[in-house]
Structure 1
Amino acid sequence: MITLEAAEQAATSELARAALRHAADELAGDSSGHDPSHVLRVFRSAQGLARAEGADLERVEIIAALHDLKDFKFTGDTSTGPHAAYAWLIESGADEMLATGVANDIAGISFKGAGTPLQPLSLEGGCVQDADRLDALGAIGIARCFAYGGHVGRPLFDPSVPTVNHTTVESYLQTQGTSLNHFYEKLFLLRSRMNTATAKNIADARHEFMEKFVAQFLDEWNGKDSE
């Protein structure tokens, strides 16, 4: 089990450790699946990807620690997260180049709809994006999907509600949908959108697990397993 203390010990710099503590304070009490434990999992996963891909480890750690601050899903503004990371880094004594680079990567990490334009990322940003997307897959991904759905008031499923290929951030934020639809609108799309070969290999097994879960969910919903 990864803890904040263990993550701090594994971090490569005091700035990365401070970023972890800041994120833990900012996200404490979250019930949507974007809590400090999510940050710690992304942090650890991103470290592994960074080593495998030859990325700058400290920068990866800082991006991972700060990637969910003031996230657009909760503020409705895609600029709040990057601005929060940039401001904290400058206040913490980071140089302008690092703060700007981290903010630019954070601006492009989140999934904002299947049809929305992708923002170019550095190698470090790509590692964190992969780690963040891996945490949206598999058993944890399923749990987080339904936690978020409950947090925003989505029903589990409604066969009359169609899935949507969101082409704008506004559509992605404003369409209520259902938790099961989220698998088709986002989660099942992530495997093919990984940046690194390492993440793609991990994503395969988690994707297949989710496919089995959804098939079982639908069988139970429709009573097929009791026929």
Structure 2
Amino acid sequence: MNKNEKLKAIRDYVSGIFEDDATGHDFFHMQRVAEAAGKIAEKEGANLFISKAAAWVHDIGDTKLSDDPDEDKRELQTFFLSISCTAEEIALITEAARDVSFSKGKVPQSLEGKVVQDADRLDALGAVGIARTFAYGGAKGQLIWHDQNKEGTSIQHFYDKLLKLKGLLNTASAAEIAEERHLFLEQFLSQFFEEWQSQT
């Protein structure tokens, strides 16, 4: 397989895993992250194939999404071999995807990893990021907000994570995109609390 064929196979593999996800980590999230990673990689001089492949698979084996993360990762390695990925490609893709998650609190070592992390974080900002926040909260039984018990609510997630992302990006390309999306988060929260307080 050439690289484009491998990316299509990876896309189809990911679709089979995440097509029914209702937490905001669905196939379309993976697709947006892969497309954003491709654009950032081109601007930043990163390896395009490794960046896009890692972006497609970055949530496979995530503990918040999987009942058996280790098995999911083993199956992914087997899949890579089945589409004729080289040992070097598998190692680079795995490395680039490994430390993307915000919850790990790490900065990836490779440029491709930094690109994927930025692409993933951009998808947590703006209108889509807001929609994903409430999708995840609803799927996990979280309250939207609570005046006395804020922890674990969807709105609190903005302060715990989303509003921090703009300052944690690795590349200038992503930082430029983040500005408008971050502003939208702030505008949303301002409107949210204005409406919330008018009902209490």
Does the alignment reach a TM-score above 0.5?
yes
Structure 1 CA distance, aligned partners of 2:12 and 2:130? 27
Which residue, out of 189, 206, 209, partners 2:164? 189
1:45-84 to 2 correspondences below 5 Å: 45-75=36-66, 82-84=73-75
Shift of 1:26: 1.1
Structure 1 CA distance, aligned partners of 2:32 and 2:142? 25
Q: Does 1:203 align with 2:190?
A: no
Name the SS for the 1:126 alignment partner: helix
Which residue, out of 127, 138, 147, partners 2:135? 147
Which amino acid in 1 is paired with 2:162?
A: L
Q: Quickly say closer, same or farther: Cα 1:80–1:199, change in 2 above 3 A.
A: farther
Shift of 1:82: 4.7
Which residue, out of 184, 188, 198, partners 1:213? 188
Give the stretch that moved more between structures: 52-61 or 71-80: 71-80
Name the SS for the 1:70 alignment partner: coil
- Percent of pairs identical after alignment? 37
Gaps of 5+ in 2: none
Q: Does 1:22 align with 2:13?
A: yes
Q: Quickly say closer, same or farther: Cα 1:198–1:119, change in 2 above 3 A.
A: closer
Structure 1 CA distance, aligned partners of 2:142 and 2:33? 25
Which amino acid in 2 is paired with 1:126?
A: K
Q: Is the 8 A contact 2:125 2:181 kept in 1?
A: yes
Shift of 1:221: 0.8
Structure 1 CA distance, aligned partners of 2:16 and 2:153? 30
Shift of 1:89: 1.1
Shift of 1:162: 4.3
Q: Is the 8 A contact 1:12 1:57 kept in 2?
A: no
User: Which aligned segments of 4 or more residues in structure 1 are displaced greater than 3 angstroms?
Assistant: 76-85
Determine the structure 1 residue equivalent to 2:122. Answer: 134
Count of residues in correspondence between the two structures = 199
The alignment's C-alpha RMSD in Å is: 2.1
Give the stretch that moved more between structures: 138-147 or 122-131: 122-131
Q: Quickly say closer, same or farther: Cα 1:127–1:120, change in 2 above 3 A.
A: closer
Name the SS for the 1:18 alignment partner: helix
Question: TM-score, normalization: structure 1?
Answer: 0.81
Shift of 1:85: 3.4
Determine the structure 2 residue equivalent to 1:90. Answer: 81
Q: Quickly say closer, same or farther: Cα 1:54–1:81, change in 2 above 3 A.
A: farther
Structure 2 CA distance, aligned partners of 1:18 and 1:184? 37
Give the stretch that moved more between structures: 131-140 or 35-44: 35-44
Question: TM-score, normalization: structure 2?
Answer: 0.91
Q: Quickly say closer, same or farther: Cα 1:57–1:83, change in 2 above 3 A.
A: same
Gaps of 5+ in 1: 1-10, 164-176
Which amino acid in 1 is paired with 2:145?
A: F
Q: Quickly say closer, same or farther: Cα 1:15–1:144, change in 2 above 3 A.
A: same
Structure 2 CA distance, aligned partners of 1:204 and 1:81? 35
Q: Quickly say closer, same or farther: Cα 1:104–1:23, change in 2 above 3 A.
A: same
Q: Is the 8 A contact 1:81 1:107 kept in 2?
A: no
